[in-house]
Amino acid sequence: MIIKPYKVFGLFLLLLLSIAAYTAAPAYADNAVVNIDKLNVRESPGSFTKKLGQIHRGETYPILDEKSGWVQIQYNGKKAWVAKYLVKVQNNTSLRSDVNYLRVRAEPNTNSKILTHLMKGEKVTQVGSKGSWYQVNSKKGKGWIHSDYSSSSNSTQKSTQPSQTSTSSGNSQKVTLLYNSTNIRSGPSTNHKIVGRAHKGDDFQVVSKEGKWYKIKYGASTAFVAGWIVTANSGASTVSNSSSNGLKGKLIVVDAGHGGRDPGAIGLSGTYEKTITLSTALHLKEKLQAAGAKVVMTRSSDSYVSLAHRVSISNSSAADAFISLHYNSFPSYPGAKGIETFYNRSQDSSLAKQVQTGLIQATGARDRGAKGSGFHVIRNNTKPSLLLELGYLSNTSEGSLVRTSSYQGKISTGIVNGLINYFK
């Protein structure tokens, strides 16, 4: 019996891991095969970070982690990063039947830190759930796995009533980093050991405050960040509580703009629009499903999909809305920034205004408004449809911000909240 999020009964249901294919979060210890003659290897996931060296076409490296369009590999005895669109991801299940690893993550999303791996058939105890994710305990510790990879091995505690669980201690405050390469330390002073680094726009859950320092959740443990290099918020950028009423059962087509041989806009640091739209689309898919919606993706990998086929996917479905994700660029005016929403038919203007409002409330970005336009994917669409321009890659600060997982999460929250208000 495959366990779905709405059929979780009790907090201690035993799960038997059942590995399955899932394009948004590969479960196996995959390999990255270099797809170009020379590929830069970098210290962190971003084309602006320190270059460590180069690897070459045909070389194969095990993938250790994945984040925002980048994959982590083992390079010269150290962990390093390469752009995912420049490698071919080779699933080890086609090579070895005994490499059935399931990634256990620190948070219930595909961009959070990988804490450990579990083997196929290994038993764990469920201690919580969030959307389509299960929080589990094993002999290797506590973490999160996706429900697609688990099945029930024991029907114990069927009489237990469904319970709500929380991953926090009740403190919903978060801090957002203001600078790239921010030091994360083991204690509340600059004399304490640096345990990691994070980047501008990254969010962390606050555990407590000690003087001018914040104690934050960091992976499976806690760490500290200086209060003068962060902004604090109350966690308002969360999906509306009315999500189950607004989106439950709705079918949303999520269109990650560009892809494959069509890179879209290119940012100042060399970032491709196609990479960020796909990463954002995967964030959005996860949040829509957590809110009860069904999701169809026009693409789930770095593949080329024609405009006509994107429209065909929408028109041939029972979609309640079509959302096309894009990022803008205006190199001749590098000061341009902000978010804007486009619609084609007048009856879609209400949807556009609700989503635009949700986006601005969640991100605090400059409001460029909801506007009529004739883009192909919305002009030829028979479903309620929008094209979103979610920020400017040509703007130095905004171009850096939109690459972060935390900001893409805020964007996704804004879209979901807009859809919820529209469908009320």
Which sequence spans correspond to the domains of the chain? 31-90, 174-233, 243-423
**Residues 6 or more apart whose Cβ sits within 8 Å of residue 49:** 42, 43, 81
Say whether pLDDT at 162 is over 80. no
Could you tell me if 176 and 233 are in contact, meaning their C-beta atoms sit under 8 angstroms apart?
Answer: yes
Could you tell me if 304 and 310 are in contact, meaning their C-beta atoms sit under 8 angstroms apart?
Answer: no
* Superfamily of structural domain 243-423: Zn-dependent exopeptidases (3.40.630.40)
Could you tell me if 38 and 56 are in contact, meaning their C-beta atoms sit under 8 angstroms apart?
Answer: yes
**Predicted pLDDT at 184:** 86
From residue 312, alpha-carbon distances to 227, 319, 387 in Å are 50, 11, 16
Quick one: what percent of the chain has pLDDT higher than 90? 33
CATH number of 31-90: 2.30.30.40
**Predicted pLDDT at 100:** 44
The C-alpha atoms of residue 270 and residue 394 are separated, in whole angstroms, by 10
Written in H, E and C, the secondary structure of the chain is CECCHHHCCCCCCEEEECCCCCCCCCCCCCEEEECCCEEEEECCCCCCCCEEEEEECCCEEEEEEEECCEEEEEECCEEEEEEHHHEEEECHHHCCCCCCEEEEECCCCCCCCEEEEEECCCEEEEEEEECCEEEEEECCEEEEEEHHHEEECCCCCCCCCCCCCCCCCCCCCEEEECCCCEEEECCCCCCCCEEEEECCCCEEEEEEEECCEEEEEECCEEEEEEHHHEEEECCCCCCCCCHHHHCCCCEEEEEECCECCECCCECCCCCEHHHHHHHHHHHHHHHHHHCCCEEEECCCCCCCCCHHHHHHHHHCCCCCEEEEEEEECCCCCCCCCCEEEEECCHHHHHHHHHHHHHHHHHHCCCEEEEEECCCHHHHCCCCCEEEEEEEECCCHHHHHHCCCHHHHHHHHHHHHHHHHHHHC
The order of strands in the sheet holding 87-90 is 51-56, 38-42, 78-83, 70-75, 60-67, 31-34, 87-90
From residue 119, alpha-carbon distances to 73, 132, 149, 353, 355 in Å are 21, 20, 11, 47, 41
Look up residue 54 and give its two tokens: 């180069």
pLDDT higher for 92 or 406?
406
Quick one: what percent of the chain has pLDDT higher than 70? 75
Compute the Cα dihedral for 232, 416, 359, 182 and give only its sign: positive
The topology (CATH level 3) of 174-233 is SH3 type barrels. (2.30.30)
Could you tell me if 227 and 214 are in contact, meaning their C-beta atoms sit under 8 angstroms apart?
Answer: yes
**Predicted pLDDT at 149:** 54
pLDDT tens digits, residue range 59-97? 777 777 888 788 888 777 678 999 888 887 765 433 222
Among 359, 318, 317, which Cα is nearest to 342's? Answer: 359
The C-alpha atoms of residue 267 and residue 73 are separated, in whole angstroms, by 24
Average pLDDT of the chain? Answer: 77
Look up residue 165 and give its two tokens: 């669980």
The C-alpha atoms of residue 4 and residue 99 are separated, in whole angstroms, by 25
The C-alpha atoms of residue 116 and residue 140 are separated, in whole angstroms, by 7
Average pLDDT over residues 158-170: 32
Say whether pLDDT at 106 is over 50. yes
Lowest average pLDDT, out of 76-80, 285-289, 301-305, goes to: 76-80
Lowest average pLDDT, out of 12-16, 19-23, 243-247, 336-340, goes to: 19-23
**Predicted pLDDT at 238:** 54
Average pLDDT over residues 251-272: 91
The C-alpha atoms of residue 21 and residue 369 are separated, in whole angstroms, by 39
Say whether pLDDT at 161 is over 50. no
Lowest average pLDDT, out of 51-55, 147-151, 243-247, goes to: 147-151
pLDDT tens digits, residue range 317-372? 999 999 999 999 988 888 999 999 999 999 999 999 999 999 999 899 999 999 99
Among 17, 16, 22, which Cα is nearest to 91's? Answer: 22
- Reply yes or no on whether 66 is catalytic: no
**Predicted pLDDT at 101:** 53
Average pLDDT over residues 199-217: 82
Average pLDDT over residues 178-193: 80
pLDDT higher for 256 or 190?
256
**Predicted pLDDT at 189:** 83
Choosing from 286, 340, 389, 398, the catalytic residue is: 389
Task: Categorize the per-residue pLDDT at 309 as very low, low, confident or very high, splitting at 50, 70 and 90.
Answer: very high
Say whether pLDDT at 171 is over 70. no
Say whether pLDDT at 205 is over 80. yes
Lowest average pLDDT, out of 32-46, 136-150, 173-187, 385-399, goes to: 136-150
The C-alpha atoms of residue 385 and residue 387 are separated, in whole angstroms, by 7
**Residues 6 or more apart whose Cβ sits within 8 Å of residue 198:** 177, 182, 184, 204
The order of strands in the sheet holding 213-218 is 194-198, 182-185, 221-226, 213-218, 203-210, 174-177, 230-233
**Predicted pLDDT at 6:** 38
Say whether pLDDT at 271 is over 70. yes
Q: Do domains 31-90 and 174-233 have the same CATH topology?
A: yes
Say whether pLDDT at 112 is over 90. no
